[in-house]
Amino acid sequence: MVDTAIILAGGFGTRLKHVVSDVPKPMAPINGVPFLQILLDTLRTKGIKRVLLATGYKHEIITTHFGAVYKGMDLIYSVENEPLGTGGAIANAFELLEPSDNNTLVLNGDSYFDLDIKSMEKRHIKTNSDISIALKKMTNFNRYGVVEIEETGRISKFKEKQHTKIGLINTGCYLVKYSCKNLLAQIKKPFSFEEKILENSNLSIILAGFEQQGYFIDIGIPEDYKKAASYFSK
């Protein structure tokens, strides 16, 4: 059972600077509550017991707010002294994992997906995947690239961002085997997890993608930040 998660919480929040300032993007307040707190509360209800927070920009704000334990969940901090990219942040966090952490959930600190972790883990194991990506079907968008999958769930293609009427997007939620630790450690930082790992056809890893139906929102732009406030006020 997956009980450990890594949250990438080092974002600057550049596109939100006119709405939120002086805090890391995951600490942007949603109806008076840090967005990161909403993520932690959600993970707790889904059985996560330990969270590694990959922090960077103004990391002390996060550590001061949450401390070492949050509502019974152990919090461990992996601090970037300089931007390492998504891949570098994940690689650093993986150095703090143990071999018993066979499959670890990785997610972005600026997006929310009501993920069915148990279902995803079941398919992740069934396909013997090294990395599984949670996918969400979206309509009429140009902000995200599209992920194409085979009937088995194996990923066949990543398509660049363009206007798309309907397609599956990468939600930034992953299940990653502990065995990927060595691969991550070999790549020079900074690096993009998406470009150097997921979209790198030269790597001999098994990638799968599984569609999920839960609510998804990325607070990275002011428009969706406001939508999040409306959604979480319910």
Cα(141)–Cα(146) distance, rounded to whole angstroms? 10
Q: Which of 122, 137, 161, 226 is catalytic?
A: 161
Active site residue 161: yes
- Predicted confidence at residue 23, as pLDDT, reads 83
User: What is the structure's pLDDT at 222?
Assistant: 85
Query: Averaging pLDDT over each range in 23-27, 185-189, 218-222, which range is the top one?
Result: 185-189
Q: Could you tell me the pLDDT band of residue 25, with boundaries at 50, 70 and 90?
A: confident
Under 8 Å CB-to-CB from 126, ≥6 apart: which residues?
A: none
pLDDT in tens, 139-183: 999 989 999 999 999 999 999 888 999 999 999 999 999 999 999
The predicted structure's pLDDT at residue 105: 98
8-12, 31-35, 225-229 — which is least confidently predicted? 8-12
Phi and psi, residue 93, nearest 5°:
-65, -40
Q: Span 4-232: which CATH code?
A: 3.90.550.10
Whole-number Å distance between alpha carbons of 149 and 37 = 33
Q: Indicate whether 11 pLDDT > 80.
A: no
pLDDT value at residue 119: 96
Name the more confident of 134 and 13: 134
pLDDT confidence of residue 79: 93
Distances (CA, A) of 137 to 10, 158, 168: 27, 14, 4
pLDDT bucket at 18, cuts 50 / 70 / 90: low
Rounded to an integer, the average pLDDT of 47-59 is 94
Structural domain spans, the chain: 4-232
- The answer to whether 100 touches 127, Cβ cutoff 8 Å, is no
CA-closest candidate to residue 7, choices 88, 73, 90, 69: 90
- Say if residues 217 and 111 touch (Cβ distance below 8 Å): yes
